[in-house]
Amino acid sequence: MSSPKPKQEVTDTREKEVMEEGKSEQKKKVMVAIDESDCSRYALIWALENLHETIAVSELILFTVQPIVDLSYAMVSTLGSAPPDLITSIQENQKKIALTLLEKAKDICAKHGVVAKTVTEVGDPKNTIYEAVEKLNIQLLVLGSHGRGALQRVFLGSVSNYCVQYVKCPVLVVRKTV
């Protein structure tokens, strides 16, 4: 069975409010890609603290990826067809996790006096980040770097490496130093 089609959802559109301020067209767009890791939380806080002047005059978008549902185990247990209810349930659960993560990140922004928009997509992290940068016309992408060890670098750091190589806007990689 094929994976659910990636779907972009703007979960908190303050587009109208921003438009009313009359500065939307001039504003730069900064996107911070987050996940549940300490590294990405650190990257967000670093950006808010160290690029505050730049972020304050920009539109800040918090972005997270909902992983594609892996139904292989369900298909085996049900002889090849995963129950539709199960698929829906897993997807809904992942969406809730993503929204909770984004809300927490938005709270961090609010504590720094920044109102952020939130966006979530279903898909592979590399592709969805790449596509979101294109689609949302992002001028600066901020990412955490999972640089704690060689193994983590190989598995988790690959997203930041991919983005530095291929994403078309400038990419800021924030490493959490121990």
Q: DSSP code of 29?
A: E
Q: Which is nearer to a copy of itself, 120 or 160 (CB)?
A: 160
We find the least distance from the C-beta atom of residue 107 to a copy of itself, in angstroms, to be 22
Write down the residue that tokens 């298909």 correspond to.
75
Per CB under 8 A, 171 contacts a copy of itself: yes
Per CB under 8 A, 46 contacts a copy of itself: yes
Among 7, 52, 111, 135, binds a copy of itself (CB under 8 A): 52
Per CB under 8 A, 54 contacts a copy of itself: yes
Site string for a copy of itself, 118-147 (x = CB under 8 A): ---------------------xx----x-x
